Amino acid sequence: MRHNTWAAVSGALAVGLGVIGGELTAAALSPSVSPVSAVGSSVIDVLPSAVKDWAVEWFGTADKTVFLLTIAVLILVLALAAGVLERRRSPAGRAVILGFGVLGAIAVASRPQATLVSYAAPVVAALVAILVLRALIRSLGAWTLRSESDAGEFAPARRRFLQGAVGAAVIAAATGAAATVVRSGQSTVTQQRSAITLPTPEDTTPPAEGSFVPDGAELDAEGISDLVTSNEDFYRIDTALVVPVVDAAKWSLKVTGLVDREVEITYAELLELPLIERHITLACVSNTVGGDLTGTARWLGWPVRELLARAGVQDGADMVLSRSVDGFTAGTPVEALTDDRDALLAIGMNGEPLPVEHGFPVRLVVPGLYGYVSATKWVSELEVTRFADASAYWSTRGWSTRGPVKTSSRIDVPRRNREVPAGDVVIAGVAWAQHTGIERVEVRADGGPWQQATLAEAISADTWVQYSATLQLEAGSHTVQSRAKDRDGVLQSAADVAPAPDGSEGLHTVSFTVT
């Protein structure tokens, strides 16, 4: 039993060293594709939508971390089993590792960003794991159980095994640290992004006032959401387990499909165009009522309609299928990219180049539509087509095809299950109806009559707006709700509707105690 335990440890060390070696190789040669991320992405591609929805609902923006930890646990179980198998029936353990190495290579091949050098990582991972496992199990096999000298020294074979195991652990730790340093630096791309000076926009939001934020747009209510969400706090929901690393100097965007002429634009050309800056609120379709998967940022970019005008959209086309470098696709109605709304090829976010995790060098930002049908990060192609002829990533998984954002509101203060002093209780939060705008927000306590809240000045119809109201509440437990009405007269739905397939509905309800 003791030797089986050490065999399992040997398997864990061998596979761990192999995986880390493969990740270091990928970080150096193919940062956007590694064996672990490729396998994970392949699994995500075949998971039922219900499982993905459950993961986002339970773990929110931590869903990728949880998924990667799950993969790590599965790899550990495999490694322990491989070690025991190798000791009992050599080369069964090495065969298991080789098989998973082949699967890793197949997964890498399935990734759109994969190049010839991407295959080096799974080869290195499998080769290192096999060689280390063979060496450790051979050393373990030579371990004798005979008592040694009275001085209690380790038997030579035992000493050699332990030295090999400790050495493998040390090398794994050092290699892992090196991989972390290489990945965190993102090498050339991080340096490239830091060196970019964004051009001055030709006009800013709102254009009629010529200022970023109008007077009265921010309310003095402690705990309310920031009017503009910082890059660090902006939600991130996408299908990329490893953030794609895209060299802006090599990036280009092609317009193909039902167009009079195919056109292509580079990052350098984009920087020379007359850019505009707009505050726009984005929302994820997975956002539950009262959830935090929505945010507002100041985006710098070039109107998509200008690029599509260059290409000449043909009659009959009703959808633009945008593709990311990682293979993700989104289907956006043509009219949302060609009408007067500020749909952008965005290169800047809150005054700096797009963060890598938010789509550097270029992403799409489209007011009024949920991100899954419009906000493609790391965008590389716009294919003009028809909804009848093409399907996007999420529409093939049961979600609706057009994804207009629903009128909604959220209570930020008071927080759920908090205690607040009796008397004047401030109820405050944000409401949104992108590209339509909010006309009114109302709140109520304990199912009573609705009372109109004070509405801040909106930056534009494409952003959320802050609101606040003061209610007189006595000591005890209370429940408050909010609802919004947009400028088209559409009242926020009170029906309890889950996010799938086209966005959640319902009234945000917060319970708290007044003391």
Q: How many CA atoms are closer than 13 Å to the CA of 73, on its beta-carbon side?
A: 6
| Residue 138 confidence (pLDDT) | 83
Residue 199 CA to residue 267 CA, distance in Å, equals: 12
Residue extent(s) of CATH 2.60.40.650 domains in the chain: 408-514
Residue 157 CA to residue 466 CA, distance in Å, equals: 71
Q: Which residues of 48-61 are buried (b: 16+ CB within 10 A; e: fewer)?
A: eeeebbebbbeebe
| Residue 25 confidence (pLDDT) | 86
- Which among 376, 384, 388, 406 has a CA at the least distance from the CA of 499? 406
Q: Name the phi and psi angles at 143, rounded to 5.
A: -70, 125
Residue 215 CB partners (closer than 8 Å, separation 6+): 457
Task: Give long-range contacts, CB 8 A cutoff, 24+ apart: 357-360.
Answer: 357/236, 357/243, 358/231, 358/234, 358/236, 360/189, 360/193, 360/246, 360/248
Residue 409 CB partners (closer than 8 Å, separation 6+): 429, 430, 431, 432, 441, 467, 482, 483, 484, 492, 508
Residue 127 CA to residue 293 CA, distance in Å, equals: 42
Residue 198 CB partners (closer than 8 Å, separation 6+): 300, 347, 348, 351, 352, 353
Residue 377 burial (CB < 10 Å; 0-12/13-18/19+)? buried
- Which among 21, 25, 26, 15 has a CA at the least distance from the CA of 81? 15
Q: Name the phi and psi angles at 411, rounded to 5.
A: -95, 120
| Residue 288 confidence (pLDDT) | 93
Q: Is 122 helix (H, G, I), strand (E, B) or coil?
A: helix
Pairing of strands 263-266, 363-365: unpaired
| Residue 154 confidence (pLDDT) | 52
Residue 23 CA to residue 179 CA, distance in Å, equals: 6
Amino acid at 133: L
Residue 135 CA to residue 242 CA, distance in Å, equals: 32
* Token code pair at residue 396: 């093939």
* Token code pair at residue 333: 């109605």
Tell me the pLDDT of the chain (515 aa) as tens digits.
Answer: 567 888 898 999 899 888 988 888 888 788 888 888 888 888 888 877 777 777 777 777 777 788 888 888 999 999 999 999 998 888 999 999 999 899 999 999 988 888 899 999 999 999 999 998 998 888 877 654 443 444 444 556 566 666 666 766 666 666 556 556 555 545 678 888 989 999 999 877 654 444 567 888 999 999 999 999 999 999 998 888 888 889 999 999 999 999 999 999 999 999 999 999 999 999 999 999 999 999 999 999 999 999 999 999 999 999 999 999 999 999 999 999 999 999 999 999 999 999 999 999 999 999 999 999 999 999 999 999 999 999 999 999 889 999 999 999 999 999 988 899 988 999 999 999 999 999 999 999 999 999 999 999 999 999 999 999 999 999 999 999 999 999 999 999 999 999 999 999 999 999 999 99
Q: Is 253 helix (H, G, I), strand (E, B) or coil?
A: strand
Residue 2 burial (CB < 10 Å; 0-12/13-18/19+)? exposed
Residue 376 CA to residue 362 CA, distance in Å, equals: 9
Report whether CATH 2.60.40.650 matches the domain 408-514: yes
Model pTM score: 0.84
